[in-house]
């Protein structure tokens, strides 16, 4: 039997386990039918038979036997005198099946066919990889560290596919060694030079969301819903959860007995502090909860301007702001409000205060209106803010603010 051994090409298919056999057979058939069209101009009277198990193939040519001199289509018909040379028992009207020796195509054509086949296999493997990980975006995968570079880490999954964990998607305190198994979420699938690149992330909020889903069965079952997650990777995260079952405490379920459920996640995230709070549509309550662990005394909210002024006892202010301002930044992201924190002076003995309107002869009305806009309607309420805060929160120039503070403080000195 004249055949060409394609074991190496078939091995490529075997390695790509997700490519099914019918697809494999179809690709091989297409490649060799292209070869036939180039040599015979048509492939209609040819059958390409692929043996995937043995790794070989054969091409059968079909022609009808006709009387000598009546051959109209040499591709589909053969003269009786030529047919009996192949097999003496043939008769006119029968169909002749003849095996085509593939080597008759020529070495160059066979080499081109092999290259085309290899290219088609490569494209199929790429498509399989794109589909596989395209469907898994947002899911957690386990992979082994293969190589660590300055800007990224190369990982291999169970099937040997390459995955990339960029430095920007790593928690600042992450440190990986070759052979180590790590968990990350599939962030996206990029195409680079027509090759799929699977990008993983450990800083995405989706990573924390999936970790919670794994650790908290109630989230997986849909009894508890994660409404919003905000993170400063490796530093702090805030998770707002809500329960559809009044009998379930969503925060307690997420934290677990003595923190058993949350501790595993904290370790995975390199000791990232995780605040789990009850979601609510009451914005006052949501802002209060979002500033955990600080306790609020009172607040003023501008719903239209999405701004909140929060007042706390002096010992709670640093808690509300957090290290490097992380806590208040995350609270702003979680609530969608710009939050300003102030010390609450209630209970302190103050001599007296003066309404800003009393200074209308020294301070221009538009300046007084600007101060009232940020909630300052008395002299002390202005002086309790630093010059920097006034400059940030108002449209006043630094020189104007300095003059304003001097006018107000001079009045208290006179008294």
Q: How far, rounded to the nearest angstrom, does the alpha carbon of residue 393 sit from its chain's CA centroid?
A: 36
Q: What percent of the chain has pLDDT over 90?
A: 37
**Given pLDDT bands bounded at 50, 70 and 90, which one contains residue 81?**
confident
Could you give the percent of the chain with pLDDT greater than 70?
A: 90
Residue 149 contacts residue 178 (beta carbons within 8 Å): no
Within 8 A by CB and 6+ apart from 120, the residues are 27, 30, 31
Flag whether pLDDT at 7 surpasses 50.
Answer: no
**Other C-beta atoms lying within 10 Å of the C-beta of residue 194:** 7
Mean pLDDT, to the nearest integer, of 160-167? Answer: 92
Look at residue 96 and tell me whether its pLDDT is greater than 90: no
Lowest pLDDT segment from 175-189, 211-225, 368-382:
368-382
CB 238 within 8 A of CB 334: yes
With bands split at pLDDT 50, 70 and 90, how would you rate the model's confidence at 15?
low
Average pLDDT along the chain? 84
Two tokens, residue 64:
């009808």
- Could you report the per-residue pLDDT of 281-307, keeping only the tens digit for each? 999 999 999 998 888 888 899 888 899
With cut-offs at 50, 70 and 90, classify the pLDDT of residue 352.
Answer: low
Contacts of 314 (CB under 8 A, 6+ apart): 343, 344
Residue 329 has pLDDT above 60, yes or no: yes
Q: Is the pLDDT of residue 319 over 60?
A: yes
């Amino acid at each position: 039997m004249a055949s060409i051994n394609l074991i190496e090409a078939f091995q490529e298919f075997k390695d790509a386990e997700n490519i099914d056999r019918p697809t494999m057979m179809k690709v091989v058939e297409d490649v060799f039918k292209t070869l036939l069209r180039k040599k015979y101009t048509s492939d209609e009277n040819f059958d390409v038979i692929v043996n995937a198990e043995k790794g070989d193939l054969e091409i059968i040519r079909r022609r009808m036997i006709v009387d000598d001199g009546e051959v109209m289509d040499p591709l589909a018909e053969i003269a009786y005198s030529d047919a009996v040379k192949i097999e003496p028992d043939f008769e006119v009207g029968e169909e002749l099946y003849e095996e085509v020796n593939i080597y008759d195509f020529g070495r160059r054509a066979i080499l081109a066919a092999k290259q085309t086949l290899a290219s088609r296999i490569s494209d199929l493997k790429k498509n399989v990889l794109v589909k596989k990980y395209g469907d898994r975006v947002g899911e957690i995968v386990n992979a082994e560290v293969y190589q660590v570079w300055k800007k990224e880490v190369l990982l291999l999954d169970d099937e040997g596919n390459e995955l990339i964990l960029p430095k920007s998607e790593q928690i600042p305190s992450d440190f990986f060694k070759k052979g180590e198994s790590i968990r990350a979420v599939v962030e996206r699938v990029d195409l680079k030079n027509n090759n799929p690149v699977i990008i993983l992330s450990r800083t995405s909020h989706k990573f924390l969301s999936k970790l919670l889903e794994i650790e908290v069965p109630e989230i997986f079952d849909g009894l508890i819903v994660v409404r919003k997650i905000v993170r400063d990777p490796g530093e702090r995260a805030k998770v707002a959860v809500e329960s559809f079952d009044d009998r379930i405490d969503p925060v307690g379920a997420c934290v677990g007995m003595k923190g058993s459920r949350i501790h595993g996640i904290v370790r995975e995230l390199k000791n990232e502090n995780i605040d789990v709070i009850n979601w609510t549509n009451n914005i006052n309550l949501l802002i209060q909860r979002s500033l955990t662990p600080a306790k609020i005394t009172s607040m003023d909210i501008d719903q239209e301007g999405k701004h909140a002024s929060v007042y706390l006892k002096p010992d709670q202010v640093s808690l509300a702001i957090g290290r490097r301002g992380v806590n208040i930044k995350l609270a702003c992201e979680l609530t969608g409000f710009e939050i300003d924190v102030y010390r609450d002076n209630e209970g302190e003995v103050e001599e007296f205060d003066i309404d800003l309107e009393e200074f209308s002869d020294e301070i221009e009305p538009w300046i007084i209106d600007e101060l009232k806009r940020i909630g300052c309607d008395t002299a002390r309420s202005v002086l309790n803010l630093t010059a920097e805060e006034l400059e940030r929160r108002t449209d006043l120039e630094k020189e104007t603010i300095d003059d304003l503070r001097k006018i107000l403080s001079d009045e208290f000195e006179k008294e």
